[in-house]
Structure 1
Amino acid sequence: MSRIAVAMTPQRAADVCGPDARRLIETRYEATWAGDRLSADDVAALAADCDVLLTSWGTPHLDASIWTDGRGPKVVAHAAGSVKKLLDREVLDQDVAVFSAAGRIAWSVGEYCLAAMLTLARRLPRFDAAVRGGGWKQTGFRGGELAGRPVGILGASSTARALITLLRPFGCDVVVYDPYLGEERAAALGVRTAGLEETLRCPFVSLHVPDLPETRGLVSRALIERMPDHTIVVNSSRGPAVDQTALLEHVLAGRLLAALDVFDPEPPVLDAAVLGCPDLLLSPHIAGDTVDGHLALAGYVLADVADWLDKGARGPSFVDPAAWPTAA
């Protein structure tokens, strides 16, 4: 029987290990569960005596020395998102298979983006404020629809692909800007590719880019100024990708609408005008954070780990070393 070490506190395990994952752990593996104390030394000790290391948020960085002289687990399964803070790229060269639940979190993010688009398109915050203020039908404004409209997506990441799937019933013309997305892959996704400026001319724009030097300031003030009136901008990726000051200026002026789940910096410092703006949805970096989504994370990666151990199959949560430079 393979050995698995669950390198997360009991509180985190309760958050990311649903009943199905726990049954899989207890029936398939000889399991060791970490306690409340979880230092780097504790994790190193757990890793030294297991075949599979299950990690999540709060797991200390895995030092490459864990794998010295052929020691250490052959599989790291991360029941969370990016693994870039968990381990160094060189670990993937040590015949170690790494899995990440980023793809499952992506679905939660996709739902957030869809909800934000619909909420702002229908002007629900404005209608809510009108009713709370004693108003009724004669509000002086009217909502719009998402169905059949062009949607511009920046970055063809896993969160973008989740949103593209969710948009299919709406019959949207989905336009994607991503220098790494080829025409064949775009066709398979049911989208078309375009340049950055054309993508930003869509009435709905959603950002799905990692935080890399080339993505910082991607949506500049000049590009924001050329976006059509009433464009709805959703940013659930990284705050530095957008000129936040310019975007907020145009939202406050009534020209654009925006849903911001990420900021630059975090947490943001926002003035009263921004906080009271009805054309702005604000959330504290929680697009991927849902009860259902978190409970599914361990099961998501462990299902692929089982396929890897049994058949050598690379499931959707497998971290491809070749994709490391552009991964979130």
Structure 2
Amino acid sequence: MTNRGADPVPDSAPQSAPGAGLRLAALMSPARAADVVDAATRRLLGERFEVVWATEEHLAGVDDPAKPAALDPAAVPDLVAGADVVLTSWGTPTLGKELWSGGTGPKVVAHAAGTVKNLIDPAILDQGIAVFSAGPRIAWSVGEYCLAAMLTQARRLPRFDGAIRAGGWKQAGFRGHELAGAKVGIIGASSTARALITLLKPFGCDLVVYDPYLSAENAADLGVRTVEIGEAVESAFLSIHVPNVPETKGMITRELIGRIPDGAVVVNSSRGPAIDQQALLDHVLDGRLYAALDVYDPEPPTFGERVLANANLLLTPHIAGDTAEGHLALAGYVLGDALRWLDHGTRGPSFVDPAVWSIAA
């Protein structure tokens, strides 16, 4: 599901006069700040906020040097004290509702990353706290990944690449296929799905979507057809875009995988548990299907040599939303909406709507 656009909010929405001094606590490591805050956003922060940055002294000890440093939960209360806005990202610990006890606490949480479900207690939404997530910005990066994966697998590029590396040349009797005009099944009308739909428009595909929460009106606005899940999987390309909720676990069953047409391309960039992973691999290993997997169940995966050597399989390490440009844009994306909320009481695309919390990613 996507959040609503720049809609007016009730008069009770917190506001401040443009240019008013605001205090912002940046609850992330210096390394993460360098990753998600670009130069323009740093200038904006200096113009609009008194900023308190977390430093190396505020980081938790890391047992594994290969893992990025995270903020020490014990440092959060002091950093947040008196802040109007908190800027968070990966490595920020869960913000307990006690930060808002007694009617105090920040007016805004701006999350320069994706889901906020492990970041905040939804109870704070009932207190009128505005929460923003950069998920819609990350969605564009994921959409590009899905398009690239579809084209890569449709043209069988890993197979041809492998042939060249093995000293071969063209593969007799073997050709790739075009995406143009093909039927594309999309499971879930999330923000990543909508980014992919936008990118697919020039290809003139027959776009079919299974999402029980997608209305006919919204489907028409997207330029897609709504179908049942059985019809959605009967497509030349299948892309999965569902949140990690109990209802989506195992939703693409072995039986449904058996209905995917021979030679089809399956892309999963959402959550590994959404699909019967072993069933999909069985169909890939026997040569019937092609797949591009960025997520797994469990993560990281432990595949045997037969899977790792298979030319029908494209494997990436959960990086669909991870691009250099996309990461640097994240803080600016959420802070822009946060300031519009504070200045004018309007919701931007990164606003986390409490009404869709239960079905959001």
The corresponding residue for 1:28 is 48
**Distance of 1:204 and 1:32 partners within structure 2:** 48
Q: CA deviation at 1:20?
A: 1.2
Q: CA deviation at 1:137?
A: 2.7
Q: How much identity, in percent, do the aligned residues show? A: 65
Please tell me whether residue 304 in structure 1 is matched to residue 304 in structure 2: no
Please tell me whether residue 15 in structure 1 is matched to residue 15 in structure 2: no
Q: Deviations over 1:245-291 (max 9, x none)?
A: 01000000000000000001111110101000011000111111111
TM-score computed with the length of structure 1 as normaliser:
0.99
* Alpha carbons 2:22, 2:84 under 8 Å: kept: yes
**Distance of 2:255 and 2:176 partners within structure 1:** 28
TM-score computed with the length of structure 2 as normaliser:
0.90
Runs of 4+ in 1 over 6 A off after TM superposition: none
* Alpha carbons 1:48, 1:71 under 8 Å: kept: no
The corresponding residue for 1:161 is 194
In structure 1, the gaps of 5 or more residues are none
The corresponding residue for 2:24 is 4
Q: CA deviation at 1:41?
A: 2.5
**Distance of 1:226 and 1:186 partners within structure 2:** 24
Please tell me whether residue 77 in structure 1 is matched to residue 110 in structure 2: yes
The corresponding residue for 1:324 is 357
The one-letter amino acid paired with 2:248 is: T
**Distance of 2:226 and 2:182 partners within structure 1:** 16
The corresponding residue for 2:316 is 283
* Alpha carbons 2:192, 2:241 under 8 Å: kept: yes
**Distance of 1:74 and 1:156 partners within structure 2:** 30
The one-letter amino acid paired with 1:75 is: V
**Distance of 1:2 and 1:214 partners within structure 2:** 41
Please tell me whether residue 262 in structure 1 is matched to residue 282 in structure 2: no
**Distance of 1:296 and 1:325 partners within structure 2:** 27
* Alpha carbons 1:209, 1:238 under 8 Å: kept: yes
The corresponding residue for 2:123 is 90
**Distance of 2:77 and 2:353 partners within structure 1:** 24
* Alpha carbons 1:151, 1:174 under 8 Å: kept: yes
The corresponding residue for 2:232 is 199
The corresponding residue for 1:232 is 265
Q: CA deviation at 1:132?
A: 1.4
**Distance of 1:110 and 1:103 partners within structure 2:** 11
**Distance of 1:140 and 1:104 partners within structure 2:** 42
**Distance of 1:173 and 1:267 partners within structure 2:** 34
Aligned with 2:248: secondary structure?
A: coil
**Distance of 1:242 and 1:233 partners within structure 2:** 11
* Alpha carbons 1:64, 1:91 under 8 Å: kept: yes
* Alpha carbons 1:44, 1:62 under 8 Å: kept: no
2:163 corresponds to which of 130, 134, 141: 130
Instruction: State how many pairs are aligned.
Output: 328
Q: CA deviation at 1:48?
A: 2.0
Q: Deviations over 1:294-319 (max 9, x none)?
A: 00000000110111111111000000
Q: CA deviation at 1:139?
A: 3.8
* Alpha carbons 2:24, 2:83 under 8 Å: kept: yes
**Distance of 1:6 and 1:205 partners within structure 2:** 39
Q: Deviations over 1:199-247 (max 9, x none)?
A: 0001000000011111111110011112110110000000011000010
**Distance of 2:207 and 2:40 partners within structure 1:** 36
* Alpha carbons 2:23, 2:85 under 8 Å: kept: yes
The corresponding residue for 1:56 is 89
Tell me how large the CA RMSD over aligned residues is: 0.8
Q: CA deviation at 1:43?
A: 1.4
Q: CA deviation at 1:138?
A: 4.2
**Distance of 2:175 and 2:167 partners within structure 1:** 17
Higher relative contact order (CA 8 A, sep 6+): 2
Q: CA deviation at 1:44?
A: 1.7
Q: Deviations over 1:136-157 (max 9, x none)?
A: 2344310100011111000000
**Distance of 1:84 and 1:44 partners within structure 2:** 20
**Distance of 1:134 and 1:39 partners within structure 2:** 53
**Distance of 1:134 and 1:148 partners within structure 2:** 34
**Distance of 2:339 and 2:264 partners within structure 1:** 45
